Amino acid sequence: MKCKKIHKKIAAYQEGLLSVKESRELEKHLSVCSRCDKLSQRMSAASNSFEKQKITDFDPFFTTRVLAKADALENEKEGTLSFKHKLKPAFRSVLLAAAIFCGVVFGITLSDTGNAKYNREDYIKALGESHYLFEADYTLETMFLTENKEEQ
């Protein structure tokens, strides 16, 4: 068997997926070819190196760190709760101030609507001489007539 063929089969051989005949042929080649044999051994050793890298030691500081984080989580929760409690009275006073403001605005609006029944002419009549209020609205002719009327 040539080296190239062996290379294709080494992975399957190590997984025990080759037939007895194929395995024997491969083993025969490995016994005479040092290059393929070394490669096969290297691969087998590398595959097992993960198992040797395992974490097996108990770390007491790890537990301490996790517990500290859990405590911080609890404190954070409590902190959020107390913030809500603190916020509640403040929110109440803001709500009260807003209600007062709305009441005032509403009152003013209502009083304005009450006056709206009077039109512009009524104002002029009521004010008598105070047509100056609407001076800009009058034409020169109207102003002249008004002045004449005053003279008479």
Partner 1 sequence: MIEDQLVKKIKHKDREAFRMLVEQYQVRIRNTCFGFVRNKEDAEDVAQEVFIEVYRSIHKFREDAKLSTWIYRIAVNKSLNFIRSKKRSIWGLLFQNRKLENSAEVPEEIITEEAGPLEKMEKEEDLQLLQESLEALPENQKIAYVLHKIEELPYKEIANVMDVSLSSVESLIFRANKNMKSRLFKKMQKK
Q: Of the candidates 63, 69, 6, which has an alpha carbon nearest to the alpha carbon of residue 39?
A: 6
Interacting positions 82-141 with partner 1 (CB under 8 A): none
How far apart, in Å, are the Cα atoms of 52 and each of 32, 33, 42, 48?
Answer: 30, 29, 15, 7
Burial class of residue 26 (count of CB atoms within 10 Å of its CB; 0-12, 13-18, 19+): buried
Q: 48 vs 146, which CB is nearer to partner 1?
A: 48
The minimum distance between CB 78 and partner 1, in angstroms, equals 12
Return the range that interacts with partner 1 (CB under 8 A); candidates 22-30, 62-70, 99-107, 108-116. 62-70
| Cα end-to-end span (Å), the chain | 139
Q: 57 vs 151, which CB is nearer to partner 1?
A: 57
The minimum distance between CB 32 and partner 1, in angstroms, equals 19
Q: Contacting partner 1 (CB under 8 A), which of 19, 21, 34, 53?
A: 53
Q: Contacting partner 1 (CB under 8 A), which of 5, 24, 31, 45?
A: 45
* Residue where the block lists tokens 């008598």: 128
Burial class of residue 25 (count of CB atoms within 10 Å of its CB; 0-12, 13-18, 19+): middle
Q: 43 vs 100, which CB is nearer to partner 1?
A: 43
Where do contacts with partner 1 occur on this chain (CB under 8 A)? 7, 10-12, 14-15, 17, 39, 42-43, 45-47, 49-59, 62-63, 65-67, 69-71, 73-74
